[in-house]
Structure 1
Amino acid sequence: MGEAAYQTTVRETPWIELIDGKVFMMSPRPRTTHADVVSNITTIFNNYLWDKPCKAYSDGVDVFLDEKNRFVPDAMIVCNRDIIHIDGIHGAPDLVVEVLSHSTAQHDRGKKMEAYARAGVKEYWIVAPLERTIEVYLQKDGRLVLDAVYNDVPAWELERMEPEDRAEVRSDIKVSLYDDFIVHASDVFHKMDFDF
C-alpha cells in the first residue's frame, strides 16, 4: 500500500484501542481542555527534545505493546528509534501521558497502566485537567508506582495556605529521562479554558 493510500485508510478508520485483547472505541471528540493540555505537553516535550535523540509524539499515534494491547496515548516520548515505524510505535515508549476523561479514567488507571508497566514504560503521567493535577508513576520491578502528584495551584490559593501546607505543594516535575528536564505544572495547564 502506498503512503497516500495508507494515510487515507488510517484517517477513515475510527480510532480504537485494544486492551487485553478487547476492542474499545475511542472518544471521537475530546473537550477543548483535553486538547489544550495535550498541545501544551507536546510543545514542552518537543522544545526540550529538539536537539536530543528522543522524540515526542502526540495524540493519534498507535502504540503496539503486544498482540493484545494497542493504545493511542495522548502524548509520549520514545528514545529507542528502532521501535518507530510508519504505522506507529512497536514496543514500549519511555514516557507515556494519558489525559483523563470520564470515559477513559478507569482504563488509564487500570488495565492500560498495567500493560504499560509490563511492557517496560519508564514513566507514566495521568493528567487531570479539571483538578489541574499530574500524577507521575515510575517503573519499579515491572510495576508503575506513584512517585508524586504535582499541582498547578493559583497564587491566590497558595497565599491563603498555611506555610507547612504550601511547602507540601509540588509543581515542578523532574522528568526521569534527563537530569535537567523539568516541567512546570503551570505550563501543562497554560491557557486552558474552562468552557463546560
Structure 2
Amino acid sequence: MPSATKASRRYTYADYLKWPGDERWELIDGQAYNMIPSPSTVHQKIVGRFYARLERLLSGTPCEPFVAPTDVVLSEYDVVQPDVLVVCEQARVTEANIQGPPEVIVEVLSTHSALRDKREKKALYERFGVKEYLIVDPLGGYVERYYLGEDGTYGKPEIFGPQDTLPLKAIQGIEVPLREIFETVKPVGKR
C-alpha cells in the first residue's frame, strides 16, 4: 500500500480502485493521502449537522447533498472525499461517484488533515472550479468561505462566526444558521 508521505510514483484513479476497501485514501495530483486516523466525534457531529441542514434546505431543488465517504473524481490523478458536498448538475452523479466539481464543498478541519484542507485541497478545488469552498473550524467555532471569482481564483476568505447565518453564494436562497451547526445558544433578544 502506498504511503501518504513517501509515494514515489504518481497514482491514478485506476490504482485507487484496486486498494483495500476498508481503507480511505485521497489522491491529489497523483499523491496518495491516507485518511486515518478516523475523525473525532466533534468533527463527525459537525459533518452530520451540516449535511442534515443542507438536505432539508435543498429539498425540492435540483441540488443534492452528499456526505463522506463519497468519491469525487476531478481527474485521473485527483480523487477526494470531502466531508460534505453539494451537486446541482445531476449528470455528474453516477452510481459509483461524482464526476467533476461539485458546486459546494465543506471540509471540517481535524488535526491530522487541517494543513492539507487549507493548502492542497484549496488549490485543487480552485483549479477544478469548485464555486464555493467552506472550511469549518470546530475548535475555533468559525467558517471560512472561499468563492470562485470571475478570474477563476478564490481570493481572500469571508469569515463567519457561530452566531452568523451563512448564505450560500453558489446556490441562491440557501442560508445555513451556523448556531445549528456549532450548537450554540441563540443570543438573547434574537429570533
Fold conserved (TM > 0.5)? Answer: yes
Higher strand share: 1
Structure 1: stretches of 5+ with no match in the other structure: 1-8, 154-170, 192-196
Give runs of aligned pairs for residues 36-55 of structure 1, distance below 5 A.
Answer: 36-55=45-64
* Counterpart in the other structure of 1:184: 177
How many percent of aligned residue pairs carry the same amino acid? 30
Once residues 42 and 155 of structure 2 are traced to their aligned partners in structure 1, the CA distance between those partners, rounded to angstroms, is 27
Deviates most, 107-116 or 37-46: 107-116
Within the alignment, does 1:119 sit opposite 2:119 as a pair? no
| Structure 1 segments of 4+ aligned residues over 3 angstroms from their partners | 9-13
Within the alignment, does 1:148 sit opposite 2:125 as a pair? no
Give runs of aligned pairs for residues 1-196 of structure 1, distance below 5 A.
Answer: 12-140=21-149, 141-152=151-162, 171-190=164-183
Structure 2: stretches of 5+ with no match in the other structure: 1-17, 185-191
User: Once superposed, what is the RMSD of the aligned Cα atoms?
Assistant: 1.8
Once residues 66 and 37 of structure 2 are traced to their aligned partners in structure 1, the CA distance between those partners, rounded to angstroms, is 19
TM-score, normalized by length of structure 1?
Answer: 0.80
Cα distance per residue 1:109-150 (max 9 Å; x no partner): 111111111111000000000111100110022222334101
Once residues 83 and 137 of structure 2 are traced to their aligned partners in structure 1, the CA distance between those partners, rounded to angstroms, is 12
TM-score, normalized by length of structure 2?
Answer: 0.82
1:92 corresponds to which letter in structure 2?
P
Contact 1:40 1:190 in 2 (8 A): no
User: Helix, strand or coil: the match of 2:148?
Assistant: strand
2:181 corresponds to which letter in structure 1?
V
